[in-house]
Amino acid sequence: MRRFFLLLIQLLRELGDENAYRRHLAAHGRMHSPDEWRRFLDARLSSRYRQVKCC
């Protein structure tokens, strides 16, 4: 059950882009800052909202 909830939290973090942001910081060796988050989110959202959403 614990494993299931951990997986669920990870899924929510993935859907909420929080994990992707952590990967982004790690990959570029940067620290979290409001500007860094805005740069990351702008790039991520611009590619996400170019794709069709399912009906």
Partner 1 sequence: MAVACVGAACLGGIAIHRGEPVNSLWLVVAAICVFLAGYRLYGKFIAAKVLYLDDRRATPAERLRDGHDFEPTNKWILFGMHFAAIAGPGPLVGPTLAAQFGYLPGTLWIILGAVLGGAVQDFIVLFCSLRRDGRSLGEMARDEIGRLGGAAAIAAVMMIMVIMLAVMALVVVNALKASPWSTFTIAATMPIAVLMGLALRYWRPGKVLEASVWGFLLVLAAIFGGQWVSHSSSVAPWFTWGAMTLAVASVIYGFLASALPVWLLLAPRGYLSTFVKLGVVMMLALGILAVRPQLQMQPLTRFIDGTGPIFAGRIFPFCFITIACGAISGFHSLISSGTTPKLIAREGHALPIGYGSMLLEGFVALMAIIAACVLDPGVYFAVNAPAGITGTTPVAAAATISSWGFPVTAAQMAQLASHVGEQTLLARTGGAPSLALGMAHIFARGLGGDWFLGFWYHFAIMFEALFILTILDAGTRVGRFMIQDLLGHVYKPFARMGWMPGVIVSSALIVLAWGYFLYQGVRDPLGGINSLWPLFGIANQLLATIALCLCTTVLLKMHGAKSMWIPCAPLAWLVSATFTACWQKIFSDLPRVGFLAQAHVLQSSLDAGRIAASQVATTRELIFNARLDAAVCGLFLIMVSLVLADSLRLWIAILNGRRPATLHETPFVATSLNLEQI
**Binders in 9-48 for partner 1, by CB under 8 A:** 10-18, 20-21, 23-24, 27-28, 32, 34, 37-38, 41-48
Measured torsion, CA atoms of residues 42, 43, 48, 49, in degrees rounded to the nearest 10: 50
The two structure tokens encoding residue 29: 């060796």
Any contact of residue 7 with partner 1 (CB under 8 A)? yes
d(CA 9, CA 3): 10
Q: Within its chain, how far is the Cα of 53 from the centroid?
A: 18
Min CB(33)–partner 1 separation in Å: 8
**Site residues, partner 1 (CB under 8 A):** 7, 10-18, 20-21, 23-24, 27-28, 32, 34, 37-38, 41-55
